[in-house]
Structure 1
Amino acid sequence: MLTKKQNLLETIHGGNPDRFVNQYEFIHIFMSDPYNASDPAPKYGQVNVTNKWGITKSWPEGTPGAFPVLDEEHRVLKDIDDWKKVIKAPKLVFSESSWEPAIKEVEGVDRNEQFVAPFVAPGLFERLHYLMGMEDAMVNFYEEPEEVKDLIKYITEWELEYADLLCSHLHPDALFHHDDWGSQKSTFFSKEMFEEFFVDAYKEIYGYYKNHGVELVVHHSDSYAEPFVPDMIDIGIDIWQGVMATNNIPEMIRKYGGKISFMGGINSATVDHPGWTREEIAKEVQRVCTEYGKDKHYYIPNIIQGLPVSTFEGVYETTSEEIDKMSKEMF
């Protein structure tokens, strides 16, 4: 029987996996590095918690995650022309002792079984609209493109500084990075705009990690983002996690399998809701495994949420159990 890590590599490289890769089983995602550990974030039910970027976030009860508060009082950047005066990236200066919890955590991972990956979120686009709001971000792409590019460069340089610290202290062999690039039905911007504003920046970020010991880049975008797949390959993404069922997953596997793999296919709203049942989860797991996983390569069945969790208790675990059942039927 292959290890979880071996089975993942056989799946994404077109080899001989002996079962489905079961959701996030192949990757240990850590958040114990001193930046993540010290950056304030709301817990479930908390409101108006301000982080080191000055972004205020809330996580109301009954919602799947935290999101920025962007009213006039709390929005960080009200005029893109003022960003150099207003936005101050957090200092990445930490004592050596502050790295000890993360070092201890990653040393405890069996790297024959799992990749070890830092959690980096939000990504470049999300950081933009967290700072100024979605509408202003979209308008500024058109009206103030040079200012937006300069701000993206500033955030990219901060991410590279952070990457250097993570790689030198913790030696990860994978990266788990968030940035949502679309809604359920469409991308947030055209392919041309994505390439103009984000491709070079992500090449630099993901290239840095891959030049410093990272073998596997997993990018979370729970969205429709099918037009961006060639660019995802170009910037170094190995697994697109969060791929919604609104994307043509079989066609993407056919066209791009061997260059990138797809993790998701189970839209959270389909199974992760009040009153969920094992029967509906089993039906959805069977659907994705037979539709997307019939050739056993380049696809990982997974609820699209951006961590190994579910909004409602038991959904993630039940989904994993049903994936195991399908592995026994199909392998």
Structure 2
Amino acid sequence: MTERENHLRCIEFRRPKWIPVVVYFLPAALHRHRERLEDLILRHPVIFGPYRRGSIDFDSFGPAYAEGFYVDNWGCTWQNILPGMEGQPVGHPLADYSLLDSYRPPDPLTQAERGPRPDWEQVAAQVEKARQEGKLVWGHGDRFFERLHFLRGFSALMIDFVECPPELNRLIEMVLQYNLALVHKWLSLRPDIMSFGDDLGTQNAAMVSPETFRRHLKPAYARMFQPCREAGAHVRLHSDGCILELVDDLIDAGVTVLNPQVRANTLEGLRRTCKGRVCIHLDLDRQLFPFATPKQIREHVEEAVEVLASPEGGLALYAEIGPDVPLENIEAVCSALEWARERFS
């Protein structure tokens, strides 16, 4: 069975042969552990696949992960105080709505958030190569809610949601049209899944009430997600924070794969709201990884599988590794995921 077929079976609850697992290293983790991480990658080919030593540049961060300030293609100013970690926006080009008339967003087909987009002919060739190799073909949408508050400023956007100035709808439509152009371009390449990312939660609750979400955000998400579903592509949404109160609306808008954080939402919360209804691409507890023992990490993964997994599918596991995770714990994460992968084989 190919990777693509197994992953689609997982998403569609059609009894996958194995649970899909992914380990992702933040640039700061690569920078800290360097060649020792290469040794680890080579010890776990089931997770990482073929790897050639020397393939990673441990010191290349790019503007998004470099220390200091930079301005993205939307005109938002970012500040980063820790190399290898993503910073946060500190300058908002539409903090004053009087600037909206003269503001121009970037070209969605030639300009990404940071830097130029890859040549679409090259992207098409990569997509076809992945398809021929039996790999899942991914398309990539862009931020929506996050882009709204990056442009406006978080507090100002929250006030807009209450006061509903006429400029708010113009702002929403502008960001939506950028995203729709990108979505339709990707759909022309026939991806298996379109991936989006928008952090909608805090540690304890959603950033907006369900009522506010339905009024101002859900219609735009539906306009982005429904064309994907109509084209036969699944919709994956990554969203940090506690989003349990938004799950019903996200599924209704078209999400078929949800990438939530386990600590903010709890296993029981995800079991209650998501299990059997949407494929859970579970973001394992990255706040646990730096401080736990290897035994505790194994128990964490085992509990996640026990609560959320099913032979029918609907669970994939994702582990993000930051610079504060010691090597022995990274090893424990990989070993636990190898066990989880074969849970129903």
8 Å CA contact 2:71, 2:77 repeated in 1: yes
Report the AA paired with residue 17 of structure 1: P
2:163 equivalent in structure 1: 143
Per the alignment, in what secondary structure is the counterpart of residue 139 of structure 2?
Answer: strand
Structure 2: how far apart are the matches of 1:255 and 1:244?
13
TM-aligned CA deviation for residue 311 of structure 1 = 4.5
Structure 2: how far apart are the matches of 1:206 and 1:189?
20
- Structure 2 residue 313 is the aligned partner of structure 1 residue 286: no
TM-aligned CA deviation for residue 48 of structure 1 = 1.3
Structure 1: how far apart are the matches of 2:276 and 2:210?
22
Give CA deviations for 1:202-261 in whole Å, capped at 9, x if unaligned.
Answer: 1111122333x4521110002110111111111111111133333254454455544312
Equivalent residue in structure 2 for 1:173, among 165, 174, 192: 192
TM normalised by structure 1 equals 0.79
Tell me: CA distance 1:45–1:264, structure 2 relative to 1, closer, same or farther (3 Å). Answer: same
Structure 1: how far apart are the matches of 2:131 and 2:323?
28
TM-aligned CA deviation for residue 44 of structure 1 = 2.8
TM normalised by structure 2 equals 0.76
8 Å CA contact 1:45, 1:59 repeated in 2: yes
Structure 1: how far apart are the matches of 2:68 and 2:302?
38
Report the AA paired with residue 204 of structure 1: R
Equivalent residue in structure 2 for 1:50, among 68, 71, 88: 71
2:88 equivalent in structure 1: 67
TM-aligned CA deviation for residue 149 of structure 1 = 2.2
Per the alignment, in what secondary structure is the counterpart of residue 19 of structure 1?
Answer: coil
Tell me: CA distance 1:92–1:14, structure 2 relative to 1, closer, same or farther (3 Å). Answer: closer
- Structure 2 residue 185 is the aligned partner of structure 1 residue 185: no
Tell me: CA distance 1:317–1:228, structure 2 relative to 1, closer, same or farther (3 Å). Answer: farther
1:35 equivalent in structure 2: none
1:77 equivalent in structure 2: 94
Give CA deviations for 1:134-164 in whole Å, capped at 9, x if unaligned.
Answer: 1111112112343222211111111112223
Report the AA paired with residue 5 of structure 1: R
1:239 equivalent in structure 2: 257
Structure 2: how far apart are the matches of 1:128 and 1:77?
9
Structure with greater contact order relative to length (CA < 8 Å, sep ≥ 6): 2
Shifted more, 181-190 versus 105-114: the winner is: 105-114
2:2 equivalent in structure 1: 3
Give CA deviations for 1:14-36 in whole Å, capped at 9, x if unaligned.
Answer: 3322322213799xxxxxxxxxx
8 Å CA contact 2:194, 2:236 repeated in 1: yes
Give the percent of matched residue pairs that are identical in Structure 1 and Structure 2: 21
Shifted more, 316-325 versus 124-133: the winner is: 316-325
Per the alignment, in what secondary structure is the counterpart of residue 204 of structure 1?
Answer: helix
Equivalent residue in structure 2 for 1:223, among 241, 247, 260: 241
Pairing 1:58-137 to 2, within 5 Å after superposition: 58-61=79-82, 64-68=85-89, 70=90, 74-85=91-102, 87-92=103-108, 94=110, 98-110=119-131, 113-121=134-142, 123-137=143-157
Tell me: CA distance 1:100–1:329, structure 2 relative to 1, closer, same or farther (3 Å). Answer: closer
Equivalent residue in structure 2 for 1:155, among 171, 175, 179: 175
* Superposition CA RMSD, Å: 3.2
Unmatched tracts of structure 1, length 5 or more: 27-39
Structure 2: how far apart are the matches of 1:248 and 1:139?
30
TM-aligned CA deviation for residue 182 of structure 1 = 0.7
Tell me: CA distance 1:131–1:251, structure 2 relative to 1, closer, same or farther (3 Å). Answer: closer
Structure 2: how far apart are the matches of 1:223 and 1:18?
30
1:323 equivalent in structure 2: 337
Give CA deviations for 1:58-99 in whole Å, capped at 9, x if unaligned.
Answer: 33326742321x2xxx331222354233x3111246599932
